[in-house]
């Protein structure tokens, strides 16, 4: 998650490949809305919470679902709104990265709505557990919750396959190539197919056709 956040907070100067040469490109952030950091933080926290919740749920140690419902609802709203906005308006195309609207926006939209659907199922589980007076009835409520997750798992699996496809496309077409100036990921700027050390770097702004 930390690497994801640092990647979202990339510096103003990055490398632009043009005519097989790399030149320095200054990104005019003021041209569009940028909220990658918020999306990165929300995604990372949501993934951590899902793993944490699954471990507690398996051990039947959940005594109060209110906090979990609030957390998943909050993160779901953030990702659904920001992801949907990026998916529909393509703000990153204005600064020269149209493919990033797909890489960041569409998975975030899907993940946000998945979290909201999961929140709805948690609310139903809480209400059902509050009505039960015996251990047998509580077990029935938990079984019903597990069954309710099965249809949702189909969409989750499909999105997982889509992320694999995005990862393959990113490697093949070097969509994830990081400039040397970028923290951490910049250390891999010479891999797998690029060699930034041999490039001549000149200052250059994004052309007007991206505005």
Burial 56-68 (b: 16+ CB within 10 A, else e): eeeeeebeebeeb
Interval 177-188: pLDDT, tens: 766 666 676 777
d(CA 130, CA 118): 18
**pLDDT greater than 80 at residue 9:** no
pLDDT category of residue 154 using cuts at 50, 70 and 90: very high
pLDDT value for 170: 84
d(CA 44, CA 27): 26
pLDDT value for 165: 94
Interval 56-95: pLDDT, tens: 998 887 778 999 999 999 999 999 999 999 999 999 888 7
SS3 26: strand
- 151 close to 87: Cβ distance less than 8 angstroms: no
d(CA 154, CA 157): 5
Kindly report which listed range (88-102, 107-121, 167-181) carries the lowest average pLDDT score. 167-181
- 43 close to 4: Cβ distance less than 8 angstroms: yes
pLDDT category of residue 31 using cuts at 50, 70 and 90: confident
What global pTM score does this model have?
A: 0.76
């Amino acid at each position: 998650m930390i690497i994801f956040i640092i990647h979202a907070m990339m510096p103003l100067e990055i490398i632009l490949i043009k005519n097989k040469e790399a030149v320095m490109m200054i990104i005019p952030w003021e041209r569009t809305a940028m909220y990658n950091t918020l999306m990165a933080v929300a995604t990372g926290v949501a993934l951590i919470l899902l793993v944490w919740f699954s471990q507690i749920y398996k051990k039947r140690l959940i005594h109060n679902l209110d906090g979990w419902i609030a957390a998943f609802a909050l993160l779901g709203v953030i990702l659904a709104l920001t992801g949907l906005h990026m998916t529909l308006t393509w703000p990153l195309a204005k600064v020269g990265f149209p493919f990033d609207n797909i890489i960041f926006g569409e998975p975030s939209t899907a993940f946000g709505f998945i979290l909201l659907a999961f929140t709805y199922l948690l609310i139903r589980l809480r209400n059902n557990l509050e009505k039960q007076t015996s251990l047998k009835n509580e077990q029935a409520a938990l079984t019903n919750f597990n069954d309710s997750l099965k249809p949702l798992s189909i969409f989750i699996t499909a999105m997982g396959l889509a992320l694999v496809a995005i990862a393959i496309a990113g490697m093949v077409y070097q969509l994830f190539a990081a400039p040397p100036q970028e923290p951490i990921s910049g250390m891999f700027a010479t891999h797998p197919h690029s060699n930034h050390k041999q490039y001549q770097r000149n200052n250059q702004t994004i052309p007007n056709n991206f505005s």
